[in-house]
Amino acid sequence: MNLFEFSYGIIHWLVDLVNNLWYWLGDVLPWVFGDFFDAVGDFAASHGHIAVMAMLVEALIIIIIGLVNVLNFIWIDRKFMIITPAKVDRMGFLLAPVIFVGSSIAAMCTIPMGFEFYVGTNDTPYSSYPLPGGPEYPGVPASALVAFALFAIAPFAILTAGWSSNNKYTLIGGLRSAAQMMSYEIPMLLCVASVVLLAGSFSFFGIVEAQHDIWFAIPLFLGFIVFLTCLVAEVEIQPFDLPEAEAELVEGWTTEYGGARFGLFMMTGYLRGYIGGALAVAMFLGGWHGPAIIPDPIWFLIKAYIVFVVIEWMRWSVPRVRVDQILNIGWKRLLPLAMLNLLIAAILRTLEVF
């Protein structure tokens, strides 16, 4: 017996109970409305009415179970966990999780998972930049740029959190995070520029459509590797997790946070891992293209999760790099490779391979 049948039974029992009284009232007071009592009683006992009420009761039970859990967690959190240290800067301390979570979720919303599966404000298609009069796509205008713009707000939140926690370890973590994210953003955006050059569109729809015949990871293999490395550095996963190096800084820039606020940071860290996977899939691994047995959004999710698992796999198999090495890798290795990749993309575009 499932929940619906259970609530159907309860409603049926209640209706029978009330209808006994109701028909008895109709017998006692026949002169008031005539057939009114019978009609209402028959409607109440009909299958459709009972089914609708049973669905409402089912939803109510589910919502109540959820709300009781939420109340329990809120109570536990407020009772034991939420600690705002006395000497923190309250404005930055309370604002940083909001900025971090909000910008990351907004970045996730701009990534479509298929031609019928995207977040958009209306049905008016936007023209795809940079070509005016080119093909028009729905959803967010220039969605690839929007995703990277929102993805790039995170160091602001991290630096605010690190500064306002009023603790030297959090400040060092925040500064490291700012240096790392800003220096790895440049090769990452250069790889995105090469993809946009080949696809001729700033929209994820256009980029994925251009990969119908061949994934961009094959002609731009170098760019794919550089992009993946920069992605790992952007989402602060193990080989590049200097901002929260447990052995050096206590817990990095999240040291002073506890309870639900730390939970938000932790959740958003993994959410950014997924966003990174989704970006890599949409940019290089053909998006939602695949054999038609599986629907498009499922293909997209499968590929994104595979990239996410590869990133996590790196986390537990590679040691952490040092803080001087990280800037050397970023500026002396990845930046020239990204420029080389842009050159390859320009040559492919000039030879009209794409």
Partner 1 sequence: MTWELFVFLFLAASALISAFFVVDSKEIVHSVIALATCFISIACMFVMLSAEFVAIVQILVYVGAVVVVILFGIMLTKREIMESGKR
Q: What is the DSSP letter of 84?
A: -
In whole angstroms, the minimum distance from the beta carbon of 109 to partner 1 comes to 14
Q: At what angle do helices 168-199 and 143-151 cross, to 10 degrees?
A: 170
Q: Which amino acid is at 318?
A: V
* 170 vs 194, beta carbon nearer partner 1: 170
34-49: b or e for each residue (b if 16 or more CB lie within 10 Å)? eeebeeebeebeeeee
Residue pointed to by tokens 């997790």: 241
Q: C-beta of 172: minimal distance to partner 1 in Å?
A: 11
What minimum distance in Å lies between the beta carbon of 271 and partner 1? 19
Q: How far is the CB of 196 from partner 1 (least distance, A)?
A: 13
Nearer to partner 1, 112 or 155 (CB): 155
Is the Cβ of residue 202 or residue 265 nearer to partner 1 in the bound state? Answer: 202
- How many angstroms separate the CA atoms of 3 and 57, rounded? 9
How near is the Cβ of 155 to partner 1 at its closest, in Å? 5
Cβ 193 vs Cβ 349: under 8 Å: no
CB-based contacts of 286: which residues, under 8 Å, 6+ apart?
208, 211, 215, 216, 217, 303
- Check if the beta carbon of residue 210 is closer than 8 Å to that of residue 201: yes
Query: Which is closer to partner 1, CB of 158 or CB of 217?
Result: 158
Of the pair 35, 89, the CB lying nearest partner 1 is at 89
What span, in angstroms and rounded, lies between the C-alpha atoms of 216 and 286?
7
CB of 254 to partner 1, least distance (A): 18
For 329, the 3-state DSSP assignment is helix
**Shortest spacing between CB 142 and partner 1, in angstroms:** 6
User: Minimal CA–CA distance to 288: which of 277, 304, 276?
Assistant: 304
Looking at beta carbons only, is 58 or 236 nearer to partner 1? 236
What is the smallest separation between the CB atom of 179 and partner 1, expressed in angstroms? 8
3-state secondary structure of 45: helix
Q: At its nearest, how many Å lie between partner 1 and the CB of residue 147?
A: 10
Residue closer to partner 1 by CB (options 37, 151) is: 151
Closer to partner 1 by Cβ: residue 141 or 286: 141
**Residues 354, 176: Cα–Cα separation, whole Å:** 40
Residue 155, CA distances (Å) to 1, 239, 243 in order: 51, 18, 11
Binding site for partner 1 (CB under 8 A): 86-92, 95, 126, 129, 141-142, 145-146, 148-150, 152-153, 155-156, 159-160, 163-164, 166, 168, 171, 175, 178, 182, 185
In this complex, which beta carbon is closest to partner 1, that of residue 8 or of residue 227? 227
CA distance to 10, 168, 258, per residue, from 250 (Å): 55, 10, 14
